[in-house]
Amino acid sequence: MSLLEIHVLGAPGLRQESQPVGAITDDVRRLADDMFETMYAASGIGLAAAQVGRRERLFVVDVDDTPLVLINPELVARDGTAKGEEGCLSIPEIYGDVERAARVTMRALDADGRAFEVEGTELLARCLQHEMDHLQGRLFIDYLSILKRRSAMAKWERERAKYPSLRRTLDPRDLAEQHNDEAL
Ligand code: K1U
Ligand code: ZN
C-alpha cells in the first residue's frame, strides 16, 4: 500500500465532478486501499478520490471502526436536519458548522462490486454527506455564511503557504505512531 498526497484547496481537481467507475478492477481496489492508508495517516474519518487527484466516483469512510468503500454512491433517503462542526483534510486547520440531513441512506457498490446500502446518523451521516459533496466538487466551506467564509478564507491564506504545490505530503511515521498508540 502507498500513502497518497492530499490535494488542498486551490487544486483544480477538488472542484471537478467525479466520473462513475465502469469496472471495479484491481487498480480501483488498490486506490481504495491506498486511500484508507492515507486517511488513517491524516487522522481522518473519510476521504474522496478527488482529494488524492483521481476522477473516480468513490470514497472511503471509517466511523466507529467500520471501514467502508462506497463506489458510485447514490443518496436514496434523507431525513431531518442537524448542525455540527466539520473539517476537511483538503483544508487543514479550517473548521466550521454545517447544517446537514440528520439521517441518510446511501446505496453503493463495495470493492467486490456488490451493491449495498448504508444508513448513517450523527457523525456517519455527516461524513457520508461531506464525502458525497467531494464527488460533486463541493466543499464544506461553500455552506458557510459570507462572514464566516471570509474569516475562514483569511485563515486559509496563511495556512496555504505551507502547501506551495497544493499537495499535502503525509509522514509515514504518523501512521506508525497511531498503531503504537492503539497498541498501548
Ligand atoms: O473528506 C475529508 O476531508 C475528511 C474529513 C471528513 C469529515 C470531518 C468532519 C465531519 C464530517 C466529515 C475528516 O475526516 S477531517 C478530520 C476530522 O475532522 C475528524 C476526525 C475524527 C472525528 C471527527 C472529525
Ligand atoms: Zn473534505
**What residues contact 74, with CB distance under 8 A and at least 6 apart?**
106, 107, 108
Q: Domain residues of the chain, as ranges?
A: 6-174
Q: Is the pTM of this model over 0.85?
A: yes
Q: Give the pLDDT score at 10.
A: 97
Task: Choose one of 45, 63, 126 to mutate for the ligand 1 pocket test, by most ligand atoms within 8 angstroms of C-beta.
Answer: 45
Distance 135 CA to ligand 2 centre (A): 10
Report which bound ligand comes closest to the CA of 95: 1
Q: Give the pLDDT score at 177.
A: 62
Q: Give the pLDDT score at 174.
A: 66
Q: Give the pLDDT score at 175.
A: 65
Beta bridge pairs of residue 7 = 167
Distance 149 CA to ligand 2 centre (A): 15
Q: Average pLDDT for residues 130-140, to the nearest whole number? A: 98
Q: Give the pLDDT score at 169.
A: 95
Ligand 1 pocket residue status of 120, Cβ below 6 Å: no
pLDDT at 168 over 90: yes
Distance 183 CA to ligand 1 centre (A): 23
Phi, psi values for residue 61, rounded to 5°: -140, 155
Annotated catalytic residue: which of 17, 131, 157, 182?
131
Q: Give the pLDDT score at 126.
A: 98
The CATH code that applies to domain 6-174 is 3.90.45.10
pLDDT at 180 over 60: no
Task: Give the model confidence (pLDDT) of 153-163 as tens digits.
Answer: 999 999 999 99
Ligand 1 pocket residue status of 88, Cβ below 6 Å: yes
Task: Give the model confidence (pLDDT) of 42-97 as tens digits.
Answer: 999 999 999 999 999 999 999 999 999 999 999 999 999 999 999 999 999 999 99
Q: Average pLDDT for residues 8-25, to the nearest whole number? A: 98
Near ion ligand 2, which residues have CB within 5 Å? 88
Task: Give the model confidence (pLDDT) of 91-114 as tens digits.
Answer: 999 999 999 999 999 999 999 999
Q: Write the DSSP symbol of residue 71.
A: E
Q: Taking the C-alpha atoms of 17, 65, 75 and 55 in order, what is their torsion angle to the nearest 10 degrees?
A: 20
Ligand 1 pocket residue status of 57, Cβ below 6 Å: no
Which one-letter amino acid corresponds to residue 11? A
37 flagged as catalytic: no
Report which bound ligand comes closest to the CA of 129: 1
Q: Taking a C-beta distance cutoff of 8 angstroms, is the pair 89, 6 a contact?
A: yes
Mean pLDDT of the chain, nearest integer: 95
